[in-house]
């Protein structure tokens, strides 16, 4: 199964290495970041297969692959395979997992996007972050932009980011607003990906509902996930008002995408039922 995994078509479409030390050495020699993809061979991984047959064989991926060092780690149950715990060491908890690493193996970003364009966008943010780092000591504007970039990449905890943001003074309104939005996005993302367990899930749902009530709304892909999660939480609590707000937000995010027509119709029907139930005499 491990040998079959190593023969996937993606490896013929771009220059990948399966050797961790070689990937770090190449990163050190070229100054490129390592694009690390973690998958497994010991059991089927349908999301991994979907990724390997889409983004990694897309015509746009090979040019991106020349801008980074492509490294694939295949977790297996084969004795003697190097770095069996590398996924956990780099902050991964499940497959597939993608991270950008520096030449010393430090995690620069945990990648959630699944397209060549998304990968290139993250790489650009990493490059910008490197430029901002020496400027941040002398400029609060650069410090705010650096902090926002680190939040976007998952390179800093929300608690540390909030502390640093609080210490920044005399930041122009536009830069401050950008940083505040980055904090909102990171907080929502952390709550959406909360560790499983009923107590943790319930607590995360309450906080997400609170963010909706306070009009602290995330942006980008996180926004769609945010509204979907809040819809579920509001439905569980029979909160028609929150459900209506979340549904309006989700519709705005989806726009005219026909793939979600039936889903939206189901949400609309459920809202009608909730509203009717709330109107009945108690």
pLDDT, tens digit (0-9, with 9 covering 90-100), for 100-113: 999 999 999 989 88
CA distances, 179 to each of 158, 174, 186, 198 (Å): 12, 9, 11, 32
109 bridge partner residues: 100
pLDDT, tens digit (0-9, with 9 covering 90-100), for 220-265: 889 999 999 999 999 999 999 999 999 999 999 988 888 889 999 9
CA atoms within 13 A on the CB side of 120: 13
Residue 40 CB coordination number (10 Å): 20
pTM, 2 dp: 0.74
pLDDT, tens digit (0-9, with 9 covering 90-100), for 110-161: 898 899 999 999 999 999 998 999 999 899 999 999 999 999 888 888 999 9
**Residue 86 confidence (pLDDT):** 98
pLDDT, tens digit (0-9, with 9 covering 90-100), for 31-64: 999 999 999 999 999 999 999 999 999 999 999 9
């Amino acid at each position: 199964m491990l040998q079959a995994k190593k023969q996937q078509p993606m490896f013929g479409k771009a220059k990948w290495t399966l050797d961790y030390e070689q990937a770090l050495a190449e990163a050190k020699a070229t100054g490129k970041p390592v694009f690390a993809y973690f998958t497994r061979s010991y059991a089927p991984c349908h999301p991994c297969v979907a990724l390997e047959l889409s983004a990694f064989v897309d015509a746009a991926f090979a040019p991106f692959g020349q801008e980074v060092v492509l490294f694939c780690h295949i977790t297996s149950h084969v004795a003697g395979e190097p770095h069996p715990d590398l996924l956990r060491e780099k902050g991964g908890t499940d497959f597939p997992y993608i991270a950008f690493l520096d030449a010393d193996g430090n995690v620069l970003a945990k990648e959630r996007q699944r397209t060549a364009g998304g990968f290139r966008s993250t790489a650009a943010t990493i490059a910008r972050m490197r430029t901002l780092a020496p400027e941040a000591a002398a400029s609060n504007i650069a410090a705010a932009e650096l902090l926002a970039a680190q939040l976007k990449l998952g390179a800093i905890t929300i608690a540390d980011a909030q502390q640093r943001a609080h210490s920044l003074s005399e930041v122009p309104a536009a830069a401050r607003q950008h940083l505040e939005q980055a904090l909102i996005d990171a907080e929502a993302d952390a709550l959406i990906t909360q560790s499983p367990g009923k107590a943790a899930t319930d607590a995360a749902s309450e906080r997400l509902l609170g963010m909706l009530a306070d009009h602290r709304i995330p942006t980008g892909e996180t926004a769609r996930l945010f509204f979907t999660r809040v819809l579920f939480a509001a439905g569980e609590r029979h909160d028609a008002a929150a459900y209506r707000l979340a549904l309006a937000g989700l519709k705005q995010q989806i726009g005219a995408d026909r793939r979600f027509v039936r889903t939206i119709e189901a949400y609309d029907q459920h809202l009608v039922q909730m509203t009717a139930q709330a109107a009945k005499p108690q």
